[in-house]
Structure 1
Amino acid sequence: MFPLERQNKIVELLTVHKVLKISELTNRLQVSVDTLRRDVNLLTKAGKIEKIYGGVKIVETKFGESTINERMISNLAQKESIAQACSEYITDGDCIYIDSGSTTYQIAKYIKNRKNLTVVTNSIPVISELMTSDVELVIIGGKIRKNEQSVVTYDYLFNFDELNILKAFVCASGITIEKGISDYNLEEAITRKKMIERSKFVYVAADSSKFGKDVTINIAPLNKVDYLITDDEIDSTFIRSFKKAGSHLVVKKVE
């Protein structure tokens, strides 16, 4: 594993576990203490992690949501597994919506060979990923959020009523049984609410770090969601709670 790959993996692990001992990291990465210390020093100088007694911890984003570029590399293995699971629900001839987000973006990589597939999206990275495929692409019109590489829209800019979506794959920054799914940005939340209303089936693709969080803007209660798809790092207490609530929780093993 190259140093940059190893450092990204350290950040991914800490994003999930928040705090890890040095011995835990050396075992997980199969590296020497000296090698790990060099990586830790570089990541500490970059402001991504913080040293504590006997270990390290993640440096949390101080104000709300991290950027799309940061999220594209965090929890990458989990997001790829979730995306692959989502792709299994997509069949030839579907008309689907793929939300802007680092997890939903990964779905695009697994559906390029679907036949007669139409993808409606507000994600510029999704458009770029599918541009050379045979997938029919529809991008919603509106204002571009440059730091999210997404398009947010309003009724007076885009006629949502003309859309007839079979399956919507949306992301969320927070998921709780009591409040459902939530996000940091009002404009993104409005777009997601509209797409949920226009879709027959709704799938939420979110890595396990999003569970137990209720962030700024409510998007939808769980009774508006057909499937929650996440990774096997999810705490077992959440699994039991969501089963009791009658939610369809799909846990994908990370390879």
Structure 2
Amino acid sequence: MNYQSRKRLILQLVEQQESVDVRELALHVQTSEMTIRRDLSQLAAEGLVYRTHGGAMRVDLAKQPFRFEHKAASRAEQKDQICQLAAQEIQEGETVFLDCGSTVFRMCPYIRHKRIQIITNSLPIVAELMNSSVTINLVGGEIDMQRQAVHGLIAEEHIRRYRAHRAFIGVDGISVANGLSAGSEKEASTALTMASQARYVYLLCDSSKFEQDKYLHFAPLTLAQTLITDKDAPPEVVNQYKNSGIHIIQ
């Protein structure tokens, strides 16, 4: 396939998903990761994409400040697959931690009918589940307006006052070698606190985050008992995670 054909396919996927990584593009275009990296460098030079560590994103989004709704809308189909599976794990009457991740947020339509208690630091989750069957415990503390979440020492103290049957945590990156990684210390700290107070911990991670190491490594894979991902995850990569001892739901 020549460059112009690859360029058309790459730009289509970037437009649809807003941000993509090299591995995903290589599978989509059916070429090598090395070729994709060269193509992305050329497209970035032409001003058609914004080059990121490990991939690319739409130029218009790169020029905007972080918006939670953009992140939540990215890879929506894969996130919804994950969230439907995650919701099936929750039993009536349980207490559940939900962190402020954009994937975790998309669980809301699948749990709003359940008679459960949630404890969350996510303002969008609270707004989405108002007037539902769910009882809400909003974590207190300082509000991060960009992330639309509550973080900080007081938030962690609040979380430690409670015990939950399950915790659902999102991550920015995950790898067999280095475990879990996050884009900020605040989100990592909150995730660790929720995990410490739950009987059972789930990671919600779409396949684009596999074998990605982000800004801060904050925990080994053993933080969670189960990893829930989408059907697009390559079988050979999934097997690596299974062999590391974590249960996979896909």
Secondary structure of the structure 2 residue equivalent to 1:214: coil
Q: Residues 1-255 of structure 1 correspond to what in structure 2 (within 5 A)? A: 10-12=15-17, 15=20, 17-18=24-25, 49=49, 58-59=56-57, 67-115=67-115, 117-155=116-154, 158-251=157-250
The C-alpha deviation readout for 1:12-37, integer Å capped at 9, x for no partner, is 2862623655xxxxxxxxxxxxxxxx
Rounded to whole Å, the distance in 2 between the matches of 1:84 and 1:131 is 20
Retained in 2: the 8 A contact 1:119–1:137?
Answer: yes
Say if 1:182 and 1:146 are closer, same or farther in 2 by CA, change over 3 A.
same
Retained in 1: the 8 A contact 2:144–2:150?
Answer: yes
TM-score, length of structure 2 as denominator length: 0.77
Secondary structure of the structure 2 residue equivalent to 1:231: coil
TM-score, length of structure 1 as denominator length: 0.75
Retained in 2: the 8 A contact 1:15–1:75?
Answer: no
Rounded to whole Å, the distance in 1 between the matches of 2:224 and 2:77 is 24
Deviation at residue 161 of structure 1 after TM alignment:
2.9
Say if 1:114 and 1:214 are closer, same or farther in 2 by CA, change over 3 A.
same
Structure 2: gaps spanning 5 or more residues: 1-11, 30-43
Rounded to whole Å, the distance in 1 between the matches of 2:137 and 2:155 is 18
Retained in 2: the 8 A contact 1:140–1:158?
Answer: no
Letter matched to residue 75 of structure 1: R
Aligned residues: 216
Retained in 1: the 8 A contact 2:205–2:227?
Answer: yes
Letter matched to residue 18 of structure 1: L
Structure 1: gaps spanning 5 or more residues: 1-6, 22-43, 51-56
Rounded to whole Å, the distance in 1 between the matches of 2:189 and 2:204 is 18
Letter matched to residue 243 of structure 1: K
Secondary structure of the structure 1 residue equivalent to 2:249: strand
Secondary structure of the structure 2 residue equivalent to 1:18: helix
Secondary structure of the structure 2 residue equivalent to 1:246: coil
Letter matched to residue 170 of structure 1: I
Instruction: Give the superposed CA RMSD.
Output: 3.0
